[in-house]
Each structure stands twice: as C-alpha cells, then as structure tokens.
Structure 1
C-alpha cells in the first residue's frame, strides 16, 4: 500500500532546507512513499490534504505559521499523521506559537560557541566537537537500536523540553570559564513524542547537509521518518 509523505520546507536559508530535504526524498520513494513538496506551512490548514498524509517531513527554521496552520498540524498529528524533522527545521520553527512548541516538546534555546580566541566571525564560531550518547531507551528503540555513541563537529543544540518526550539520545554541554552557566547541562539530542494517535520524531543534529550525511545521523533520521509514519 502506497504511503503519502509531505515535505514542507522553507524558512531560514542557512539550514539549506531544499538541499537537506532532497537527501531523504529518494529514501522515502524507495520505501514506497508518494512524496509531495510544499514551500509553506500553510498547507497544514488544508484539512482534506492532511487526512491523506501519512508523514510530514518538516524543514522550516524560524519563519511563521498562521494560527490556522498550527491548529491544522496539531489536529493532523492527533489524528495519526506522523511528523518528523531535524535541527532548526523542527526544533526552532514558529517561535511565536506556543501551540506548536507544545506539540514538538522541545525548543532550541542556544548553541554554545567556541572559545572567544578561536572565533572567526562566521557560522563556524558555533561549531563544537561533542558526543551524542544513547540512553537506555535509545539502545533498545527501533530508531536507534544497534547504534553506538558518536561524535560530531557542528552546532550542539541546547533544547528546552518537557517530560512528555521519550529521549533516545542526549548531549552534554560542558562548563567553560567563558560560559555563564556553572554546571554541565544534559540536553536531548534525539527524541520521540506520542501525540493523540500520531507520532513526532526529532533529531537535533542537522545544521547542514554534511552533518545529515554522517552515517549515524542519516540512519537516525531515516528510521525516525519510518517510525513516525501513520500506522496502517
């Protein structure tokens, strides 16, 4: 049976929403999805379209969505449509909507910067080498089973979150003399969320296509999309 996937992309160009989503479209098609693409989240307000969508893959950093679009997305997920995404395309979308933030369960707060002496005045100032560590749940969950802890050199997301998420992997922000916090901060790096009849999947790595090509990151995103898809 053919499944339907809707790729919604846009927002801040710095996260390469077109190139990033194009990495995963062949995977979806190879797994039997009929894939459609929209360049605006306003498609979420189309209730009839949402009823026949089994999976939404969202890559829209910041930007805005109307109240009608957010309500449509929440209704769709609650009715069984899956929602999946990575990095700012899902965890830093529609900052002015508390309803959206509640749906996702985690919101980007910051990405700690490199030592002041090593900053160049470009995006690499926010790149750190950090570990993504599997939780006990992550070692058993179908999205991350068989994967080991791994390291990345990219933005390390600090995420504000609630207790309704199921955390599959974490990352720890260290204490440095040039940071204002005084103890290590453990932040979710990969999580899932049950919402009504639907599922939400979020991975915080994915600042650019190179990060998404990392074997571990790509495996997590691909499995996450399959997991989130509406159950038959």
Structure 2
C-alpha cells in the first residue's frame, strides 16, 4: 500500500481528551498506510513544506486560538488537496474568532442544550446520505451524550442530522446537521458532531463514520 502522510493536530480544552481520542484512531490510520505526525498546536499549519506533503489533517483542538498565518496555511493546504477531518468540538468548536477557519469548516458549535439539567441527553442520529461512501449501510442510531446544536452553511453536503426537542426558549423541534462533508478547492472536509468522549467515539456507528470520513477526506 502506498504510504500517505497524516498530520494529527490535538490540544485545546482537555475535557475532550484530545490525546486519548486521537490515539483511538492511530491504529486505523497506520493500517490504511498513513505515516502519522502529531502536533500539539496549530503552529504546524505554518510549515508550508509539511502541509504540502500532508494528505490528511485530523484535528482535535477544542477552542484555542489560531494566528492569521496558521489559518492561511491550513486553508491553502486544503484548497491544494490536503484533506481535513475531525469530530465534535475538536473541529466545530475550534478557533471561534477566526472567520476564515469557520468558512473552511462550514459549521460552528452553538450549544448542547440540557434536558432536566443533564447535558448528556438521549437523541437519534438520522442518516440522510445513505448513498454516500461514508454513511452507506449505516442505519439511524441512538446516543446518550452531548447533542450539538450547530450553525452551518448550505455549501455542505449533509449526511446525517439530529433533532433537538422543543423546550425552553424555542417552541418547536430544531433539526441540525450531525455529519457533513464539503469540497474546498481540490481538498475535502469531513465533520462529525458526535464524539464528546471515548465512549461515544467507540460506538460502532460513530467510529465507522469517523474512520470512513478520514479516508474520504484524504488526498
């Protein structure tokens, strides 16, 4: 199998266990023929040689800051063909103050509403892209974890949704994307909103979607 290069960028808020969460997928990446480089900050995005040689960026970096140069390095690399993949806050609750990054990923975490004071709530992930290689053959499935309410743009192809029940200040159910992909120049972007903790990432459907999403996004 031809060797490819993956760059895993992890860090930020420790509540999402960035090291343990990404470690969960390192054997899969190695098995798919990737040579993996690990970085603990987005500073790696400033290295043009590294980014040009990278076929896939897997990012798990919640909140945090990114410089203009780092953001430009990532965006340019994806436009040139490098894939970008991630899950939960590691990709859609990252670098909130950078509009170019938000434009690239196509979505932003807004909240995870509580039910009865609990942030882990039962909800369903409904597959809408049953003919896409990432979600083909996966049935709708249920989770008990954070249910992300995200703000997204219409450029993405939505592969799965989740519906928030009416409560509190909103008086009707709200359906939002839970898994989506988008093409950016010659590159591809994959986002899955489930993935708050290791138990969620070990769910068979979630893990399959993330692994297929990384493979799909890669150059």
Where on the TM-score scale, by shorter chain, does this alignment land: which range? over 0.9
Q: Cα deviations across residues 175-229 of structure 1 (Å, max 9, x unaligned)?
A: 02xx211111111000001000000000000000110000000000000000000
Counterpart-to-counterpart distance in 2, 1:74 and 1:187: 25
Trace 1:133-144 onto structure 2 (pairs within 5 A).
Answer: 133-135=126-128, 138-144=129-135
Which aligned segments of 4 or more residues in structure 1 are displaced greater than 2 angstroms? none
Q: Say yes or no: does 1:168 pair with 2:159.
A: yes
Structure 2 runs not aligned, ≥5 long = none
Trace 1:42-53 onto structure 2 (pairs within 5 A).
Answer: 42-53=43-54
Residue in 2 that maps onto 1:61 = 62
TM-score, L = length of structure 1? 0.93
Counterpart-to-counterpart distance in 2, 1:134 and 1:37: 32
Residue in 1 that maps onto 2:177 = 188
Counterpart-to-counterpart distance in 1, 2:201 and 2:122: 16
Counterpart-to-counterpart distance in 2, 1:169 and 1:127: 19
How many pairs align? Answer: 218
Q: Cα deviations across residues 137-189 of structure 1 (Å, max 9, x unaligned)?
A: x100000000000000000000000000000000001102xx21111111100
Residue in 1 that maps onto 2:191 = 202
Residue in 2 that maps onto 1:72 = 73
1:129 to 122, 137, 147: 122
Structure 1 runs not aligned, ≥5 long = 120-124
